[in-house]
Structure 1
């Protein structure tokens, strides 16, 4: 007898389009940055009138109790015969206002800050900008040091700044000479 296989109807291949899920979106209001409170101070406008209206010279902010920083101020003053740069201690009331103008905490004394009317610089960038205002050969030296990448310059700056009190000590009088 012959084997008879049952006849099975052919299965039809059904192709379905893939289901696409839409990502839920946050409401537009949630994506916007919050507007500053109405009592927020525009530090640039507030300090422009106080510091740059009658005198447009840049200001060097420095740690007033650090011997390294005080020595740096003396060095800059000695090599700035035209008195282009003004000086303020970070701990002073004026220094605190200028720190806020730069977007930094008013209690942050971790870095030298160089403030111009329209811009400000910190760490190694501040040092290079200060050097550009001094007598020869410092502007040329600053030009060549800009070849070094910023992260390397700031790494070296941070290592000295973080150890400045242990390496150079604090001022005995507790304030700067300026």
Structure 2
């Protein structure tokens, strides 16, 4: 089963992050779903997780949030990102999550405003979940 990244579908920063991750996920390991979508809501319910301002990684039957999710995603990307993520685990979680919270709080200001998100190309579109596979 592929790990699933749940992102805020209303956030342009989050959309840009999905494209960034996909470009560095050379083995196409990750699948993506907006937290607000039907499949996103089903995954959240199945995991007993709350959505909101945190990226959520669902992998191997577990869910990871905030910096743990980001670093676990990073470990599966191409180098040097996998190395940086591995080193990131050396930083204490409260400090990592504090930085994550500051970015999450400002995420809507980090990307210039647009009226809509771009549609993914077909090769990326196939990695977005339209139905819950479990």
Is the structural similarity TM-score above 0.5?
Answer: yes
Is 2:11 the counterpart of 1:90? no
Unaligned stretches of 5+ in structure 1?
Answer: 1-55
Unaligned stretches of 5+ in structure 2?
Answer: 126-134
Larger radius of gyration, structure 1 or 2? 1
Would you say the 8 A contact 2:12–2:117 is kept in 1? no
TM-score normalised according to structure 1 size: 0.62
Q: Using CA pairs under 8 Å that are at least 6 residues apart, name the structure with larger relative contact order, 1 or 2.
A: 2
Aligned residue number for residue 131 of structure 2: none
Task: Supply the distance in 2 between the matched residues of 1:172 and 1:131 (Cα, whole angstroms).
Answer: 29
Secondary structure of the residue aligned to 1:83 is coil
Task: Supply the distance in 2 between the matched residues of 1:170 and 1:73 (Cα, whole angstroms).
Answer: 17
- Residue-by-residue CA offset, 1:64-123 (whole Å, 9 max, x unaligned): 121111111111111111101011111101111111233223xx3210000013211000
From the two aligned structures, give the one with the greater strand fraction: 2
Instruction: Report the Cα offset of residue 162 of structure 1.
Output: 1.5
- Residues 83, 128 of structure 1: alpha-carbon distance in 2 compared, 3 angstrom cutoff: same
CA RMSD of aligned residues (A): 1.9
